A and B are shown apart, each in its own frame.
Chain A
Amino acid sequence: MKFGVIVFPGSNCDHDCYHVIRHVMGMPVEFVWHKETHLSGFDCLILPGGFSYGDYLRTGAIARFSPVMRAVEDFAEAGGPVLGICNGFQILLEAGLLPGAMLRNRSLSFICQDVYLCLENPHIPFTLLGHSSQVLRMPIAHGEGNYYADPQTLAELEANGQVVFRYCTAEGEKTDGANPNGSLHHIAGICNREGNVLGIMPHPERCCEGILGNEDGKLIFESILLTR
């Protein structure tokens, strides 16, 4: 199963995603420059975290116009799995591949820390190995992860099981204190209706090795491998 990691100017978790897929999962992977217009031979695409174009405008607002995004849309439309992590998630929102938008964290500052996530939908290609209500620990590192959508969109997301991860306590309770950024419905990750496009604010690629003290992120990468 071959992975493509899209590199936008300002991406900075591209190497981390590459490392996990190549050296932890042992799978083939290539960097894809954002000016590419054709994507062939890939079985899964990852839009990594970082600060595309410096995030000087709204996060992801410029990257969505990168030439590669047309090809990403085609790939997703054809059912290919696309994973957007952090800035990658923000780009997917701006590109309209996922609904909603990101606001600044309610603290108005950047937050880097471990959070707990409740797995809400273990039936999409990225979460097959998990079980409903499973609690995972993952780091977040963002200034704009405060998910927002209008009430109708939120209702649709909930009705269709598109909310994949919610912030929670270590015990799985969805309290306000466990919500690090003020996201509506405690949303940490959502997928499209078909389930093949996932956007997630926490960084699974940062917790896939024992030496880093946490391997909870492997669940996502190992699940994708099952779908080949």
Chain B
Amino acid sequence: MQEPPITPELVARHGLTEEEYDRILKALGREPTFTELGIFSASWNEHCSYKSSKPVLKLFPTSGEDILIEAGEENAGVVDIGDGLVVCFKVESHNHPSAVEPFQGAATGVGGILRDIFTMGARPIALLDSLRFGPLTEPRNRYLLHGVVSGISFYGNCMGVPTVGGEVYFDEAYQGNPLVNVLCVGIARRKEIVRARASGTGNPVYYVGSATGRDGLGGASFASRELTEESERDRPAVQVGDPFTEKLLLEACLELFKTGHVVAIQDMGAAGLTCSTAEMAARGGCGIEIDVEKVPRREPGMIPYEVLLSESQERMLLVIQRGREEAVETILRRWDLHAVAIGRVTDDGLVRVKDCGRVVAEIPARALVDEAPVYVREEREPPYLRETRNLDLRCLEEPQDYQGILIRLLSSPTLASKQWVFRQYDHMVRTNTVVLPGSDAGVVRIKGTDKALALTIDGNGRYSYLDPYEGGKIAVAEAARNLVCSGARPLAITNCLNFGNPEKPEIFWQFRRCVEGMAEACRRFNTPVTGGNVSFYNEGPEGAVYPTPVVGMVGLIEELGRMAPITAWFKNEGDLIILLGETQEALGGSEYLKEIHGRVAGLPPQLDLEREASLQQACLEAIRAGIIHSAHDCSEGGLAIALAECCICGPGHGRGAHIDLFAPEIRTDALLFGESPSRIVLSLEAQHLPQLKGIAEGRGIPLSLLGQVGGDHFSLEMSASGLYIHLPISELKGIWSGAIERCLRI
């Protein structure tokens, strides 16, 4: 391939604006070469540079007493958990690749986030996924669900990292643009954290891992555009995953780090060799020179432009200490890995690329990373909100057959059991998973200590669509509530912000409001943001996805040995069923409104952060007192669904319950299926009720006795309205646990 001359058309095809091209001219003091143009395009696209989101992300709190490395300093933030141990975790999106090639798209999403974690010197101990698809009635969405789940299963299982939790939603808003967000959590010794900043002039730069091919060429630029009918043609921009090579890389890297010979390491992720070289140099305030002809290749005839921009997977860039080449190569050879010295660290601050002695690119590293353009985007409140806000409940007819509605909701794929999904993931490997997927949070013990981590990933796009600020707040609050229900103290969050095209003022307004809501909640719960990912341009031919903030949160359980891990499901016959918190008439944005009345309207439930914090403290205090047998967050689907889940979501046959509700001031449908936040369903022995009451009163949290665990039926009465739901547990469990499989059998 001949290098074409630089023309305005070529610049435009690289997704660079005229102003951005002027910036390039200024940074270089001359016209860029074709290779340099490609490098700038790759480094300055939205996916790599965060040029639209940066000013807004500054709103997040990023520091805290447990935070050792803050967001943005390295590949992932680092949180201290005592005993000389630290946790690093981060969530990444792979939405666009999964939309056109679900299996490889999702698989390489898992691979990418795993590399982000183990390049910090941490061993990955858990994965969680947050997935969103269009309705399963569409064949395309069934294909996407199948492909994404098997892709995650293929990569995560082979790596031997358990997938311990996650969430799956189905909604028309994700038709044509599914969301695939993957969270990885790793553990390291505090002293062994590895940095991604190059240093030491003359230190060799090594290329390790798979050879470079033309796959994934321009993947990051692809992710910085809207999806269109023609996106299928971008399939070659999707990379192909090789989890076996990655497993070798993981083990080899962790072994290498222990030698102390590694100065810095960076995964060649989005924008490949270009981004990793520039970022390592810019972070270290030095330069890097590489010989592109030394890069191992998968196919002949590749020009420097292609080698530099390829997004072939399972590749690492290492800076090692001069004089330790032999020791490093020995370890890598033992793991059958390609390791080639392709360059060295310099002191001139330049990223210099040579090809057979000829300089094909020479760019100041800072220009690529720190001096990337930043935009303050225009914003405007979207007009649809004027309509959706006006929900008059009086116009909404109350249903007659509540038993039928309970069944319909439990069998809707969003509320139904995700067993079909989790069963395809190895969630037990490493023998640390104390609470398996299916409870409010996954719990992973830390061998050699009495500690465990509770992990969750959460979001609700519909709430954020109806009110991005409240939606952002609720996403953080609900994640924290999930951890508290598992007996853990929330430590910190990572997030994945999935939005439409930020150049549209309405989308950017949603983005900023959402971040503001999340930031406020993070400050209140003292859970700083350790990093994350922004995914813009999530728009299919039919428009943007719901603004979907996804929160990954990590909590700490200090004394695992002293108490059994708390799970969501009812345990013992005769236990009392208690609701902590208060039910309001909150039907806006509810699953009930959507599924039964076909409406996405109203305001999402309003969350009072002070009340939420008190509720969580009360719950944690009760759990720590050892009097709680089960705790379950009451969220999507409302109280009736939460209670039914407590009966059927555990292992085995499930437990029956007799429930008597009394709330004459609230509509029956709102009482059963409204989604007021700040509520938790507990079960405990009757003798401990006074103690629980004391704890709740101390925090000013209302408490109500709902009924008792027992029998083999789910019985729910409302004496006031004559309502009576009476269903065998076995039937309820069958409906709920087989729902997704039934949808796929169509």
Chains A and B form a bound pair: yes
Whether A141 contacts B242 by the Cβ 8 Å rule is: no
A211 within 8 A of B: yes
| A110-B153, A110-B157, A211-B434 given; A51·B428 CB < 8 A | no
Whether B244 contacts A9 by the Cβ 8 Å rule is: yes
A218 within 8 A of B: no
Count of inter-chain pairs, beta carbons less than 8 A: 83
| A9-B336, A12-B429, A13-B160 given; A111·B244 CB < 8 A | no
B112 within 8 A of A: no
Q: Chain A CB within 10 Å — which of B150, B160, B427, B431 has the most? A: B431
CA distance in complex: A19, B432 (Å): 11
Whether B428 contacts A141 by the Cβ 8 Å rule is: yes
B425 within 8 A of A: yes
Taken residue by residue from 217 to 246, chain B's Cβ proximity to chain A (1 for < 8 Å, 0 otherwise) reads as 000000000000000000000000011110
Across the interface, B431 reaches (CB within 8 A) one of A113, A114, A206, namely: A206
- Of A52-60, A171-179, A182-190, the stretch lying at the interface with chain B is A52-60
Give chain B residues whose Cβ lies under 8 Å from the Cβ of A51: 157-158, 160, 243-244, 247
Taken residue by residue from 35 to 57, chain A's Cβ proximity to chain B (1 for < 8 Å, 0 otherwise) reads as 00000000000000111011110
Which residues in chain B, 112-165, are within 8 Å of chain A measured between CB atoms?
A: 150, 153, 157-160
Whether B424 contacts A10 by the Cβ 8 Å rule is: no
Give chain B residues whose Cβ lies under 8 Å from the Cβ of A209: 431
Across the interface, A9 reaches (CB within 8 A) one of B159, B248, B424, B429, namely: B248
Interface of chain B, main secondary structure: loop
Taken residue by residue from 5 to 46, chain A's Cβ proximity to chain B (1 for < 8 Å, 0 otherwise) reads as 000011011011001100100000000000000000000000
Whether A54 contacts B244 by the Cβ 8 Å rule is: yes
CA distance in complex: A112, B157 (Å): 10
Whether A54 contacts B429 by the Cβ 8 Å rule is: no
CA distance in complex: A9, B335 (Å): 7
Give chain A residues whose Cβ lies under 8 Å from the Cβ of B560: 211
Which residues in chain A, 198-218, are within 8 Å of chain B measured between CB atoms?
A: 203, 205-206, 209, 211-213
B447 within 8 A of A: yes
Give chain B residues whose Cβ lies under 8 Å from the Cβ of A10: 158, 244, 247-248
Interface of chain A, main secondary structure: mixed
Taken residue by residue from 416 to 452, chain B's Cβ proximity to chain A (1 for < 8 Å, 0 otherwise) reads as 0000001111111111011000000000010100000
B690 within 8 A of A: no
Give chain B residues whose Cβ lies under 8 Å from the Cβ of A143: 157
A59 vs chain B, min Cβ distance (A): 11
Whether A112 contacts B425 by the Cβ 8 Å rule is: yes
Whether A212 contacts B244 by the Cβ 8 Å rule is: no
A160 within 8 A of B: no
Whether B159 contacts A12 by the Cβ 8 Å rule is: yes
Give chain B residues whose Cβ lies under 8 Å from the Cβ of A141: 157, 426, 428-429
Q: Chain A CB within 10 Å — which of B158, B242, B336 has the most? A: B158
Across the interface, A212 reaches (CB within 8 A) one of B247, B426, B434, namely: B434
Which residues in chain B, 233-269, are within 8 Å of chain A measured between CB atoms?
A: 242-245, 247-248
B198 vs chain A, min Cβ distance (A): 30
Whether A211 contacts B445 by the Cβ 8 Å rule is: yes
Give chain A residues whose Cβ lies under 8 Å from the Cβ of B561: 211
A132 within 8 A of B: no
CA distance in complex: A56, B242 (Å): 9
| A141-B428, A141-B429 given; A111·B158 CB < 8 A | no
CA distance in complex: A192, B2 (Å): 63
CA distance in complex: A192, B335 (Å): 32
A139 within 8 A of B: yes
Give chain A residues whose Cβ lies under 8 Å from the Cβ of B425: 110, 112
CA distance in complex: A53, B245 (Å): 9
Q: Chain B CB within 10 Å — which of A20, A51, A109, A110 has the most? A: A110
CA distance in complex: A194, B427 (Å): 35
B652 vs chain A, min Cβ distance (A): 9
Measured CB to CB, the residues of A under 8 A from B are 9-10, 12-13, 15-16, 19-20, 23, 49-51, 53-56, 109-114, 139, 141, 143, 203, 205-206, 209, 211-213
7 A-B interface contacts by CB (under 8 A)? A10-B158, A10-B244, A16-B430, A56-B244, A110-B157, A111-B423, A143-B157
Measured CB to CB, the residues of B under 8 A from A are 150, 153, 157-160, 242-245, 247-248, 335-336, 422-431, 433-434, 445, 447, 560-561, 651
8 smallest beta-carbon distances between A and B, as pairs? A12-B160, A54-B244, A51-B158, A141-B426, A16-B431, A112-B426, A110-B424, A110-B153
